[in-house]
């Protein structure tokens, strides 16, 4: 038996807006796929042969001898995923879908596939494969829906990230870092976040030895780890303590590795309130573990949602201090500015650019607020009849898919494009970046 895992393509910022390439001429960061496929491959029984196709590198719908096609996708990739599902079914293949979008919108996916997996894949994957075997033998069938079941993280083998690194990528930029998961679930409920619903509200941690082993395996291939934890590991919580333990475990992560190799974390996601609440010693431990960049997520927290509205000088002052603290610890704050929150108006763009200039941010990305299906903001905007399109490929943070509160959709889009252009071209931040760092994800 053979399973073909497919990672469907999605539009990055410059694919939605080619003019960005003209203004911001640098490498286009092609991040690793999510760990979803690697996690399922790790629990696939040995008698199943595995093939993986990354549709971002080459169209994935070439004919296949696989018995089962397994699609893994989040919202930006959903349009292409459903198109691929239709093509594979037209070839007579059985198709199963999983990931964030199928979890949130199973009814939209179901007509295109034989089975939808809701939530985490590992606990039901054996059942899916066994049903696929029975279906192939004519003695059974796939069920339309599997899950949701939360996995016991202590029982999971390390994800097969090797599938992503050793895949054939002729002429394609291969990232320097690959995702590493420390925990699943988040107790918070940020308006635009999918995670508490897809992975649960309780934070569950992987055993430290498991996480460290993965970082070491990446290091043996010359790669660093970037953590999948977004911003849920708040100071003082169990997740935060686990993060500190991981930093310490990696502070001398060279044991047993070839000379010059070191297990290290390249960046972690963090928010401004988290930086402010972290003691100095914690930031030092992060730096010692190799963290030289924070992916500073904005737009979800009480500081960045208020700092650029022009109405909250206190929030703005805190934002300056947060960036300063990162810089003081030698950690580059790669700042993600989210435009289109409810209180943002036409002046927000100038306020963001001014802040970026004065605070010393040299590396930034700009995103348009996007109400991802199933998140609290999605439910609110659907209720207020403010969703403008359900064309899922436009849900990639580079398009306006809802009616903003204090701007027109055109003003919001123009503001987003102006942020990229003025930050990188007119203000010369690109020139200020060392060559090796000129890989902005856009």
Whole-number minimum distance, CB 125 to ligand SF4, in Å?
24
Residues in the chain: 442
CB burial of residue 149 (10 Å; 0-12, 13-18, 19+): middle
Q: Which residues 6+ apart lie within 8 Å of 439 measured at CB?
A: 26, 27, 29, 173
Among ligand SF4, ligand B12, none, partner that 349 touches (CB below 5 to 8 angstroms by kind): none
Q: What separation in angstroms does the CA of 241 have from each of 234, 248, 330, 376?
A: 9, 11, 22, 28
Q: Does 242 bind ligand B12 (CB under 6 A)?
A: no
Whole-number minimum distance, CB 190 to ligand SF4, in Å?
3
Q: Which residues in 296-315 contact ligand SF4 (CB under 6 A)? A: 300
Interface pick for ligand SF4 out of 231, 278, 304, 341 (rule CB under 6 A):
231
Interface pick for ligand B12 out of 26, 31, 135, 262 (rule CB under 6 A):
31
Give the residue with the Cβ less far from ligand B12, 36 or 273. 36
Among ligand B12, ligand SF4, none, partner that 196 touches (CB below 5 to 8 angstroms by kind): ligand SF4
Whole-number minimum distance, CB 30 to ligand B12, in Å?
8
How many other C-beta atoms lie within 10 A of the C-beta of residue 269? Answer: 19
Q: What separation in angstroms does the CA of 287 have from each of 250, 251, 291, 333?
A: 10, 9, 5, 13
Q: Tell me how far apart the alpha carbons of residues 437 and 361 are, in angstroms, rounded to a whole number.
A: 13
Whole-number minimum distance, CB 150 to ligand B12, in Å?
9
Give the residue with the Cβ less far from ligand SF4, 71 or 338. 338
User: Count residues contacting ligand SF4 (CB under 6 A)?
Assistant: 11
Whole-number minimum distance, CB 234 to ligand SF4, in Å?
7
Interface pick for ligand B12 out of 55, 120, 131, 344 (rule CB under 6 A):
120
Interface pick for ligand SF4 out of 38, 52, 70, 190 (rule CB under 6 A):
190
Interface pick for ligand B12 out of 8, 17, 20, 33 (rule CB under 6 A):
33
DSSP-derived secondary structure for 139-190 = S----SEE------GGGPPPP-THHHHSS--TT----SEEEE-SEE--S---
Among ligand B12, ligand SF4, none, partner that 31 touches (CB below 5 to 8 angstroms by kind): ligand B12
- Cross-strand pairs, 27: 439
3-state secondary structure of 426: helix
* Three-state secondary structure readout of 252-306: CCCCCCCCCCCCCEEEEEECHHHHHHCCHHHHHHHHHCCCCEEEEECCCCCCHHH
Nearest by Cα to 5 from 42, 54, 46, 45:
54
Give the residue with the Cβ less far from ligand SF4, 20 or 190. 190
Question: Which range, of 93-101, 236-244, 256-264, 312-320, touches ligand B12 by CB under 6 A?
Answer: 93-101
Ramachandran bin of 191, using left for φ above 0, alpha for ψ from -120 to 50, beta for the remaining angles: alpha
**Residue found under tokens 């199943």:** 48
How many other C-beta atoms lie within 10 A of the C-beta of residue 374? Answer: 16
Q: Does 193 bind ligand SF4 (CB under 6 A)?
A: yes
Q: Which residues in 369-408 contact ligand B12 (CB under 6 A)? A: 372, 396-398
- Interface residues with ligand B12 (CB under 6 A) are 12-13, 31, 33-36, 39-40, 70, 72, 74-76, 96, 98-101, 117, 120-122, 125, 179, 181, 193-195, 198, 228, 230, 336, 367, 372, 396-398
- Interface residues with ligand SF4 (CB under 6 A) are 186, 188-190, 193, 195-196, 230-232, 300
């Amino acid at each position: 038996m053979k399973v073909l895992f497919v990672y469907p393509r999605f539009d990055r910022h410059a694919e939605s807006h080619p003019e960005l390439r003209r203004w911001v001429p640098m490498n286009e960061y092609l991040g690793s796929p999510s760990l979803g496929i690697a996690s399922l491959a790790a629990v696939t029984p040995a008698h199943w042969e595995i093939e993986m196709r990354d549709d971002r590198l080459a169209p994935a719908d070439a004919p296949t001898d696989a018995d089962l096609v397994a699609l893994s996708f989040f919202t930006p990739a959903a349009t292409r995923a459903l198109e691929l599902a239709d093509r594979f079914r037209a070839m007579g293949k059985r198709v199963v879908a999983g990931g964030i979008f199928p979890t949130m919108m199973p009814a939209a996916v179901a007509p295109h596939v034989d089975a939808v997996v809701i939530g985490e894949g590992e606990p039901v994957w054996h059942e899916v494969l066994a049903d696929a075997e029975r279906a192939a033998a004519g003695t059974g069938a796939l069920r339309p829906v599997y899950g949701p079941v939360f996995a016991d993280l202590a029982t999971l083998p390390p994800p097969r990230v090797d599938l992503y690194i050793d895949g054939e990528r002729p002429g394609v930029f291969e990232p320097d870092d690959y995702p590493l998961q420390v925990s699943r679930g988040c107790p918070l409920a940020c308006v635009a976040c999918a995670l508490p619903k897809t992975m649960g509200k309780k934070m569950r941690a992987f055993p430290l030895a498991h996480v460290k082993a993965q970082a070491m395996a990446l290091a043996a291939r010359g790669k660093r780890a970037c953590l999948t934890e977004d911003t849920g590991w708040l100071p003082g919580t169990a997740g935060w303590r686990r993060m500190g333990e991981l930093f310490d475990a990696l502070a001398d992560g060279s044991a047993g590795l070839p000379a010059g190799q070191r297990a290290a974390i390249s960046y972690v996601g963090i928010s401004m309130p988290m930086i402010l609440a972290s003691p100095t010693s914690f930031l030092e431990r992060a730096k010692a573990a190799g963290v030289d960049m924070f992916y500073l997520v904005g737009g979800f927290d009480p500081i960045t949602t208020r700092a650029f509205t022009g109405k909250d000088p206190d929030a703005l002052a805190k934002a300056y201090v947060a960036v300063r603290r990162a810089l003081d610890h030698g950690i580059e704050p790669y700042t993600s500015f989210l435009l289109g929150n409810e209180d943002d108006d036409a002046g927000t763009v100038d306020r963001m650019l001014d802040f970026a200039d004065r605070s010393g941010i040299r590396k930034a990305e700009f995103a348009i607020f996007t109400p991802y299906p199933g998140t609290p903001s999605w439910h609110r905007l659907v209720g207020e009849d403010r969703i403008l399109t359900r064309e899922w490929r436009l849900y990639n943070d580079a398009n306006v898919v809802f009616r903003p509160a204090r701007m027109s959709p055109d003003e919001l889009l123009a503001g987003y494009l102006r942020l990229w252009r003025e930050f990188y071209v007119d203000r010369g931040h690109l020139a200020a970046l060392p060559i090796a760092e000129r890989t902005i994800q856009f």
